[in-house]
Amino acid sequence: MALQITRRGIRRGAYIFTLISLLSLVGIFLFTRSHMTAEALGSIDPVWLLAAVPLIALDWIGSGYRIYIFGRVFHPRVRFRTCVKANLANYFMGAVTPSQMGGGPAQIYMLHAGGMSTVAAVSSSVMSFVSTTLFLIVAGAATFASKEEVPLPGAMLRGLFAVGILFFLAVAALMVIAIVSPGFYRELMRLLVRALSRIRGKDYLHEKSWGGGMIAAVDRCHRQILFFLFRRTRVFCMAVLVTAGVFFVKFALAYCIVRALGVRASFLHVSLLQMAIILINYYFPSPGASGAAELSSAALMTPIVSRGLITLYVILWRLLGMYLPVAVGGAAMLHEFGKRDRIEVETEEELREEPAVP
């Protein structure tokens, strides 16, 4: 088993991401254009845009620190800079792969390239994902409770928001099952692999087969979650708090853009709408949620940003919050590629091992 990233896959995903994003922005412009759009370009408040610059840096640093919190438990010599680069690589590969599925492997590879063992990199990435998911579950519940104060425009958007809430509630239920029933996922994976073995007429349950590796990985992942919840509780709580800080910065970035356009709005109102956008787009199947992110942001932010300004808002929001880190992460990934056509990390043996934790 190997984590593999190819230049061809990156190019194809980048083309799709760019094309969908451009078409979405053009569509928003054509649908909402007015004389205010051109006038807004000359009336942008540079003070509020300058205020957004440190927020961008804090977003990158905070996201990297979340990885570092777990990474130093498994690999005390891991560099903070490596974790920041890994997070930016996650941004980039998440943007050029469906449902952002390439982000995790890219992050793992960059951590591995920075000196971590593959199993330590996987473990750090899994726990970073768990802390993010836990925060989103809590924040999503708070957003749902506030939906009457900040109603979502349009039946479709309300439906998508409800689907997002249900998805994260399902994830919460799965996390509870993982805590109260230690062997549930191991046995479930064993049943699935056994069924596939019977269908294919092969023994995928053998210890050295991919099926055996998957069962061992699921079991190891479960033990790590329990380890951090009950034996390294402070570390896990710190990661969740850092995650909350990262999302606060993302909300503040959107607020700065709104104010830069000369619009006065409540920070809480902007934050609740941003949370709704995240819940709607977090697992959208297009690369980097391209298309869905632009269109849902344009639709949801119209109660705050006027129709003539919404195109400019979406461009600035995606440029500073997504396109810029994707570009920097892409540069980091291409530098790591060098002249190779693909990069991969062999994991067949390492993923069967347990990471050393104090």
For 89, the domain range is 2-352
- Confidence (pLDDT) at 336: 79
- Confidence (pLDDT) at 325: 93
- Report residue 166 as tokens: 């249900």
Predicted confidence (pLDDT) per residue in 258-275, tens digit: 999 989 988 988 998 898
Higher pLDDT, 33 or 60: 60
- Confidence (pLDDT) at 52: 93
Within a domain: 327: yes
- Confidence (pLDDT) at 351: 47
- Confidence (pLDDT) at 207: 59
Within a domain: 282: yes
Helix (H) or strand (E) holding 305: none
Q: What is the mean pLDDT of the chain?
A: 82
Q: What's the pTM?
A: 0.83
Domain count, the chain: 1
Is the Cα dihedral 41, 47, 48, 50 positive or negative? positive
- Confidence (pLDDT) at 64: 95
Within a domain: 11: yes
Please choose, from the candidates 267, 349, 351, 273, the residue with its C-alpha nearest in 3D space to the C-alpha of residue 314.
Answer: 273
Within a domain: 111: yes
pLDDT (average), residues 304-330: 91
Within a domain: 358: no
pLDDT (average), residues 124-150: 81
DSSP string across 90-138: HHHHHHTSGGGTTHHHHHHHHHHHTT--HHHHHHHHHHHHHHHHHHHHH
Predicted confidence (pLDDT) per residue in 327-349, tens digit: 999 998 888 777 677 766 554 44
Residue 84: count of CB within 10 angstroms of its CB? 21
- Confidence (pLDDT) at 272: 86
User: What is the pLDDT confidence band of residue 98, given thresholds at 50, 70 and 90?
Assistant: confident
Which of the residue ranges 142-146, 239-243, 287-291, 347-351 would you say has the lowest mean pLDDT? 347-351
pLDDT surpassing 70 at residue 65: yes
Within a domain: 357: no
Within a domain: 267: yes
- Tell me the percentage of the chain whose pLDDT exceeds 90: 27
Within a domain: 222: yes
Residue 344: count of CB within 10 angstroms of its CB? 13
